[in-house]
Structure 1
Amino acid sequence: MGRLFCLLSAAAFGVMAVFGKLAYDAGVSVNALLLVRFGLAGALLLGIALARGALRNLPRRAVATGLAMGAFGYAAQSTFYFSALARIDASLVALILYLYPILVMGAAIALRREQTSRRRIAALLIALLGIGLVLSGALSGELDWLGILLALGAPIVYTAYIMVGDSLGGEVPPLALTALVCTGAFGTFVLLGFLRGAPSFGFAPVGWLWLAAVALISTVAAILLFFAGMARVGPSVASILSIFEPVVTVIAAATVFGEQLTATQWLGGALVLSAVLIVQWRTRPVAAPLEHPDEASGTPSCSSIQVAELTARVKPD
């Protein structure tokens, strides 16, 4: 059942791009989508976290950091993602976004939070080759370079967001952190609305259906399903199963919008996802000290990829 929950979560996240594009077709703006998404999702997740007592006795620093992660990191990443989605195919955005586990690995090595290895270097080279093929395959048609740059900005900002989340260690339960992040992001878009003018809500009524789908299915339900699955199968298996997400996006975008990847892009996408698997698939059981705080230093020593899955399932995505 845990694996099923993880796959359902990946599917719910995967169709977010399709819901977003359908909302744009109904006249919804990027700003309106983000404001409604985080308003609905933040309110529901806060309510659930309060009901479960997940927000009790949290350190002030942890609460402030969680809100700041949403207000700055997650708000920026979501803006990049959904702005790119308004300009280029959902399939391309999904494949580019999924560079983030590789970028997290590279950042963790650069910051000396993790050690390098042949397997990780190989994964990095495979991912770079893969994304090169994905982008070169798009050169056969008219390529929106601004859309590509916006899409590339999403995993870069997301990597920084995850590394900040890593600094929290185990202070904040995942559900509480997710609720705080969504609330912080909502605050950012409310503030932007005051400064730049509130977004227009005069779009077609069907737009509200797609906004509700983004917030309720691809955010709240997707996050809760992931937590339920991870509790049963563990973060490593859950993170591997989450690779189903961009596959769902590609299939859904092809079905709904007729988007088609070239053979070169299919190969590039397969290489990117293979690199993610190489990074996340454990070749042997991990000793207990890697799962718990180090007794000598008192600092958590879980891998950044594991932290990514614990903190990042608020993913925009």
Structure 2
Amino acid sequence: METPKVHPYIPIIIGVISVSLSAIMVKLAEAESGVIAFYRMFFSIIIMSPLFFYKYFHELKALSKKDWVFSSIAGIFLAFHFILWFESLNYTSVASSTVLVTLQPLFAFIGTYFFFKEKISIKTIASGVIAILGSFLISWGDFKVSGSALYGDMLALISCALITAYLLFGQDVRKRISLITYTMVVYLVSTICLFFYMLLKGESFGPYPASTWMWFLLLAIIPNLLGHTLFNWAVKYVSTNVISVAILFEPIGAAILAYFVFSEKLIATQVAGGIIVMLGLMFFIIDLKNIKNLFRKKA
């Protein structure tokens, strides 16, 4: 496997900052969850198309049946991750929703162990547990266990499992095909899936206010093309576990933004939780085994 020109941690950091804006934009868009998800993916396809058809279209011929199947499954998982997460934001707070969505290590550690036989050190498990505890603490003040908030929390938790599955399938396929081709295939499958979802649900394709169209476009550019696409690039060189733990930074950024945009107040437990998350991440990053395995070589 070739050594990347940019250290994978740099795109991962940019990606985390980008996806932190997602929940805010979703809440500002005046449309149903399926509609927001569809246009987010649709505009991403439109923006990527010129580059893909100019330079990467020929790569489709090299895709194996396994690549098509895995990429398609990843696209479906991504579509329903967006639907469930966006819907959760209608029932619970930004802080609670993003915390639950970013609890990916719980699923990623298990998935990479069973599917890729990746070894998990005691230090990795400990760092993940610390970060997860910090994530829970961030939203402890407004984390409710009844009524509509509980429903929103469950939707966010299921969407967390789906995005982890999406990354796991991508980790396998990205070893064989380029970032642009993989992303284009996955986003296209996701867009088609969301299109039929909207038809079945009877959700409207328009019209919408100009501001909502703007949020649709920004969701495509920032969280998708800067966020998820950078994660797709990095997953070729690092384990899904690395990305999943790094994404735990998302609730911190989202909670801060929600405070300024929606007046969702930050309390002492949320601040303390943010500090604990960062400590857990630092504990994970300095794990010598993870650094050694950062640039995986072909057997």
TM-score by length of 1: 0.75
Could you tell me which residue of structure 2 aligns to residue 214 of structure 1? 219
1:52 and 1:274 map into 2 onto residues whose CA distance is 42
Gap change, CA 1:140 and 1:19, over 3 Å in 2: closer
**CA deviation map 1:103-125 (0-9, x unaligned):** 21232234571223221231343
What percentage of residue pairs aligned between the two structures are identical? 19
**Are 1:138 and 2:142 matched, yes or no?**
yes
Looking at structure 1, the residues matched to 231 and 172 of structure 2 have their Cα atoms a distance apart, in angstroms, of 22
Structure 1 residue runs of 5 or longer lacking an equivalent are 295-317
Instruction: Check if 1:188 corresponds to 2:193.
Output: yes
Aligned to 1:122: 126
Alignment partners' CA distance in 2, 1:107 and 1:259: 34
Q: 1:17 to 1:274 in 2, by over 3 A?
A: same
Give 3-state SS (helix, strand or coil) of 2:56's partner.
Answer: coil
Q: For 1:259 and 1:74, locate their aligned partners in 2 and report how far apart those are by CA, in whole Å.
A: 28
Indicate whether 1:97 and 2:101 are aligned: yes
Query: Deviation digits for residues 141-171 of structure 1, max 9, x if unmatched?
Result: 9871001111111211122222222333611
Shift of 1:79: 1.2
Instruction: Tell me which stretches of 4 or more aligned residues in structure 1 moved more than 4 Å.
Output: 1-8, 139-143, 223-228, 238-244
1:85 aligns with 89
Residue in structure 1 matched with residue 204 of structure 2 by the alignment: 199
1:207-240 deviations in Å (ceiling 9; x for gaps) = 1111111112322244566688x69xx758x958
1:157-203 alpha-carbon deviations (Å, 9 max, x no partner): 12222222233361122222121111111011111233332425243
Alignment check: 8 A CA contact 1:99 1:272 kept: no
Q: What is the aligned length?
A: 285
Matched, 1:13 2:13: no
Shift of 1:256: 0.8
Aligned with 2:163 (options 155, 158, 166): 158
Q: Which has a greater percent of helix?
A: 2
Gaps of 5+ in 2: 1-5
SS across alignment from 1:52: helix
- Equivalent residue of 2:62, what SS? coil
Name the structure 2 match of 1:265: 270
After superposition, the CA RMSD in angstroms is: 3.3
The residue identity in structure 1 corresponding to 2:37 is: L
